[in-house]
Amino acid sequence: MSEEKSVKGPKLADPVKASIDVATQEMIRRSHDLGIETVFDRAENMKPCNIGVQGTCCKNCAMGPCRLPLPKAGIEGEDTRKGLCGATANTIAARNFARMVAAGAAAHSDHGRCVAEVFLSAARKETEAYKIKDEIKLRAVAPHLGVETTVEIDGEIKDREIDEIAVEVAEKAIAEWGKPDGELLYLKRAPEPLYEKWKKNGVLPRNIDREIVEIMHRTHMGVDQDYKNIIKQCTRASLADGWGGSMLATDLQDILFGTPSPISSEANLGVMKKDHVNIIVHGHEPVLSEMIVAVTQKAEIIEYAKSKGAKGIQLSGICCTANEIFQRHGIPHAGTFLQQELAIITGACDAMVVDVQCVFQNLANVAKCFHTKIVTTHPIAKIEQDNVLHVEFDEHYALEDAEKIVKMAIDNFTNRGTDVMIPQHKSASVGGFSVESILYHLGGTFRGSYYTLNDNIINGRIRGIAALAGCNNARTKHNDSHITLCKELIKNDVIVLTTGCNGIACAMEGLLTPESAAVHCGPGLAEVCETVGIPPVLHMGSCVDISRILLAATAVVNAGGLGKDLCDLPAAACAPEWMSEKAISIGQYVVSSGIYTVFGVTLPTSGAPVFHDYLSKDMEKIYGGRWDIEADPIKQAELMIAHIDKKRKELGIDKTRERVLMDMADRQALEM
Ligand code: NFS
């Protein structure tokens, strides 16, 4: 057997089966021609562990790992499976799930903390590189953190100095990670019935760090042995992510770097340019990538690139850092999570600059075959291989650090080999749909509400709202579910809000353009998009920006006519190709905020059916939202649309949907 293996060698991925994207297929073929292994090939050769997939392997103590697979015949009668300590399959699966929530919430929230610390430096004027860019947003956010924006002087109400507000906002924000008492201040931004539900169920997060620490404690050997109680803490920690760390990250980033508004760009590997210095930023925290953007736009730096024989500098991005600089500067996406190795295999990537999260260790091995410099920048995220450079990023010297990195990339341009192949595929895209810019486009500054959106949902032109997010997963065909699901939804008049790698996939497919509405949408949504001039798929940013979706949904509730809570809305969410622990934390806070949420691929709960049922049935009775699992993207769309239709019926607007053409009297009757 082993002999046969060594003769045959490892299996290679079939490019057409691995991805729907032609650029990706071309680069997988090239990787095979060059003998370079990528994630697509590794997925062929390493199968996932069957017990891990079920979520029922416990390795939280040294008496294990205790493995509790589901018997092939299923469970008849009492489930007697248990680990050495007696932990049941439900306890084990819930503990594992909880640790995923903890890791995901930690990743988002530590990102938020880093931004908050840079924000404090900027507010205190300890750094030249970062400044308060969006004063309007600072004034809008301040009251949510209990910071006054006006002051009474001699009986007169005056605006407080912006610097004063900034320092206080920074201090209040940082306190959210570790304050000794009280609850997270942003929770009150949720619709009141939702806040009351959290309060009644005892899941209001106290501070961000504490809820994550408590998960680690509760899931230690011999602590919490009631899966319902463990899930309660999952809700609390995940809310500290969505309505805490992530929301703070979004707000503070907007204040520092600008609140996004519609901006056009391009997406896919074809954005790289053969005759330019190609720098790719990859990771998550925009504190670094913002500085790289600034440096690459400096005239003397462009001149320096020209002095080395390049025509200029092409900056592009991968993963969520790409989403950050796309939504604020129109910097193009080079690709999604699964394309990171392929960007180097073009032979044209002069430097890939990474910070934290979703970065493959194998980048270093791929880079060894080319001239590409891999530069790590974050003290908590280094790569062991000797061809990786570490330039530690310090916010106090941010521009200097960024300049050092960019110059290194420029110097590396002359080391480029002759074997360059950039796939000639890219699509136009429009992004930058923050809560504020949607308000402007759909509601108008005059009305200052989401009234137009609600009106179009009530009259049935828009059937409902879908939030799509999440990663790629090498166990499924790259981008296939993202795109099939998205097209099916807009065909059925469901408007899509997207973030993360789903947003990049949609950009690569050309779905982020207003023109795509006429091609892909049902008549109702197409009409709205054409009238307002928006794409049917609104790119709302990175994964921490799912907080924008929470606030947009809250704005819809507040605009009236569609219920009083998020769970009343004709809305549903899906992460069709998820892979990261962050996705599990997001899923848990979205469900706990009242939204029906479908996950693709698989959920590590199948080995514990009772626990799985709790997530997919019982949670709805508590929070109004529930988990669901479905691998087929068409069925995902059907489930989401069925949920949307159910909510329309409950709201009494299902009839108006059948009557798409409304006369003036109908319209007036709907307006409250
Ligand atoms: Ni979200 Fe962003 Fe992409 Fe997944 Fe990774 S980049 S934070 S985790 S893979 S969507």
Q: What is the CATH number of the domain that holds 226?
A: 1.20.1270.30
For residue 472, give the ligand 1 atom closest to its CA: 9
* Distance in Å, CA 542 to ligand 1 centroid: 8
Verify that 476 and 405 share a domain, yes or no. Answer: no
pLDDT in tens, 74-127: 888 899 999 999 999 999 999 999 999 999 999 999 999 999 999 999 999 999
Q: Tell whether 81 is covered by a domain.
A: no
Verify that 411 and 444 share a domain, yes or no. Answer: no
For residue 108, give the ligand 1 atom closest to its CA: 7
Tell whether ligand 1 has an atom less than 6 A from the beta carbon of residue 320. Answer: yes
Tell whether ligand 1 has an atom less than 6 A from the beta carbon of residue 107. Answer: no
* Distance in Å, CA 543 to ligand 1 centroid: 6
Domain count of the chain? 3
Q: Tell whether 533 is covered by a domain.
A: yes
Burial class (CB in 10 A: 0-12, 13-18, 19+), 61: middle
Q: Tell whether 337 is covered by a domain.
A: yes
Verify that 410 and 472 share a domain, yes or no. Answer: no
* Distance in Å, CA 103 to ligand 1 centroid: 14
pLDDT in tens, 132-147: 999 999 999 999 999 9
State which of 380, 415, 450 marks the end of a domain.
415
Q: Average pLDDT for residues 513-527, to the nearest whole number? A: 97
State which of 234, 257, 280 marks the end of a domain.
257
Burial class (CB in 10 A: 0-12, 13-18, 19+), 494: buried
Crossing angle (nearest 10°) for helices 162-175 and 89-123: 160
Q: Average pLDDT for residues 483-507, to the nearest whole number? A: 98
Q: Tell whether 392 is covered by a domain.
A: yes
**For position 446, what pLDDT does the model report?**
55
Is residue 277 within 8 A of residue 413, CB to CB? The reply is yes
Task: pLDDT band for 670, please (50, 70, 90 cuts).
Answer: very low
Res 53 pLDDT > 90: yes
Q: Which H or E element spans position 95? A: helix 89-123
Strand-by-strand arrangement of the 427-431 sheet: 388-390, 373-376, 351-354, 277-282, 313-318, 333-335, 263-267, 427-431
Considering only CA atoms, give the Rg of the chain.
25
% the chain with pLDDT above 90: 92
Interatomic CA distance for residues 340 and 319, integer angstroms: 8
**For position 210, what pLDDT does the model report?**
98
Q: Tell me the pTM.
A: 0.95
% the chain with pLDDT above 70: 96
* Distance in Å, CA 258 to ligand 1 centroid: 22
Closest-CA residue, ligand 1 atom 7, reads 543
Tell whether ligand 1 has an atom less than 6 A from the beta carbon of residue 503. Answer: no
> Which residues in 519-528 are b (16+ Cβ under 10 Å) and which e?
ebbbebbbbb
Tell whether ligand 1 has an atom less than 6 A from the beta carbon of residue 327. Answer: no
Verify that 239 and 278 share a domain, yes or no. Answer: no
Res 660 pLDDT > 90: no
Verify that 153 and 286 share a domain, yes or no. Answer: no
Per the structure, the complete domain to which residue 611 belongs is given by 431-651
DSSP secondary-structure letter at 566? G
Verify that 379 and 458 share a domain, yes or no. Answer: no
Closest-CA residue, ligand 1 atom 4, reads 471
Res 662 pLDDT > 70: no
Tell whether ligand 1 has an atom less than 6 A from the beta carbon of residue 283. Answer: no
Q: Tell whether 141 is covered by a domain.
A: yes
Query: Rounded mean pLDDT of the chain?
Result: 95
Verify that 237 and 311 share a domain, yes or no. Answer: no
Tell whether ligand 1 has an atom less than 6 A from the beta carbon of residue 245. Answer: no
Verify that 183 and 321 share a domain, yes or no. Answer: no
Tell whether ligand 1 has an atom less than 6 A from the beta carbon of residue 470. Answer: yes
pLDDT in tens, 350-408: 999 999 999 999 999 999 999 999 999 999 999 999 999 999 999 899 999 999 999 99
Verify that 365 and 435 share a domain, yes or no. Answer: no
Tell whether ligand 1 has an atom less than 6 A from the beta carbon of residue 562. Answer: no
Task: pLDDT band for 664, please (50, 70, 90 cuts).
Answer: low
Verify that 339 and 462 share a domain, yes or no. Answer: no
Res 260 pLDDT > 80: yes
State which of 208, 229, 257 marks the end of a domain.
257
Whichever domain contains 522, its CATH number is: 3.40.50.2030
Q: Tell whether 39 is covered by a domain.
A: no
Half-sphere exposure of 314 (CA within 13 A, CB side): 22
Q: Tell whether 368 is covered by a domain.
A: yes
Verify that 226 and 177 share a domain, yes or no. Answer: yes
**For position 9, what pLDDT does the model report?**
80
Res 48 pLDDT > 60: yes
Res 666 pLDDT > 70: no
Tell whether ligand 1 has an atom less than 6 A from the beta carbon of residue 337. Answer: yes
Verify that 111 and 250 share a domain, yes or no. Answer: yes
**For position 5, what pLDDT does the model report?**
44
Res 447 pLDDT > 80: no
Residue to mutate, 39, 285, 289, 319, ligand 1, most ligand atoms under 8 Å from C-beta: 319
Task: pLDDT band for 235, please (50, 70, 90 cuts).
Answer: very high
Res 661 pLDDT > 80: no
Q: Tell whether 218 is covered by a domain.
A: yes
* Distance in Å, CA 334 to ligand 1 centroid: 14
Q: Which H or E element spans position 592? A: helix 581-592
Q: Average pLDDT for residues 564-574, to the nearest whole number? A: 98
